[in-house]
Amino acid sequence: MPLCKLPASGLTIGYDETGTGTPLVLLHAFPLDRGMWRPQLAALGEAARVVALDLPGFGESSPAGTGIEGAADAVAEFLAVHDVSKAVVCGLSMGGYVALALARKHPDTLAGLVLADTRAGVDDRTTKANRTKSIALVEEQGSAALFETMLPKVVSEHTLTGRPDVIERLKALAARQPAPSVIAALGALRDRPDANPGLKAITVPTLVLVGEYDAVTPPLSAANLSAQIRRSTLLHIPGAGHLSNVENPDAFNAAVCGFVAGLK
């Protein structure tokens, strides 16, 4: 699998690439890696040059406590190393936080944004406390144990009870993430900056996607996000929860392909 050494930061980034045309960068959810985009690579590769990255600390990328802002810097450096002047950046959940940080810090790298099952605001007090409890759980029992507690929240009831293949694949992705990286990411998620003040400055076309049954960043939250971005479109992914790309890949892929096609 390809690896890219970033000369400025010293990070190594794992990635998969397929297709030609408009660069489309995929940023994964927590606590997974680029393997979550497997249902997208072939389909989206027919419409774009698709690059799925492992964010720092996950998958094959270097362990690093870079935080959300540092992860955005790494994505920008990756694009520069690959001579990509502008890309459509698609981030889901944690990947969406990184995409929004990229929009704040490196807006010139963007040709478009896809913000899937994510939000701009910071964690409330209860969620921050739960992140801290999750850190303790990972320290004691590891990454797989954390994801077991997350499953009922991050997938729909239909997926949880009727799609054992999807559940096992997600569990395997989560279990292979190093505990120190998961702990660092929990702290970064808990302490991430508020992205709301920067939303009105986003000028590129933006697609906001949300699973119909997303319990983590629900449809109302997605509607509020979309309402603050001038050139945005909001679409629901039927039958899906928070991990909408794996729960209903056909609808997700069609939405993203249509969005990219509309940019040409």
Rounded to an integer, the average pLDDT of 186-215 is: 96
Q: State the pLDDT at residue 57.
A: 94
Is the pLDDT assigned to residue 66 strictly greater than 80? no
> pLDDT category, 118, cuts 50, 70, 90?
very high
The strand ranges marked E within 57-179 are 87-92, 110-116
Tokens 């690896």 sit on residue = 3
Is the pLDDT assigned to residue 4 strictly greater than 70? yes
Rounded to an integer, the average pLDDT of 121-135 is: 94
> pLDDT category, 1, cuts 50, 70, 90?
low
State the total domains in the chain.
1
The CATH number of whichever domain residue 44 belongs to comes to 3.40.50.1820
Whole-prediction pTM value?
Answer: 0.97
Q: Residue 95 is part of which domain span?
A: 3-262
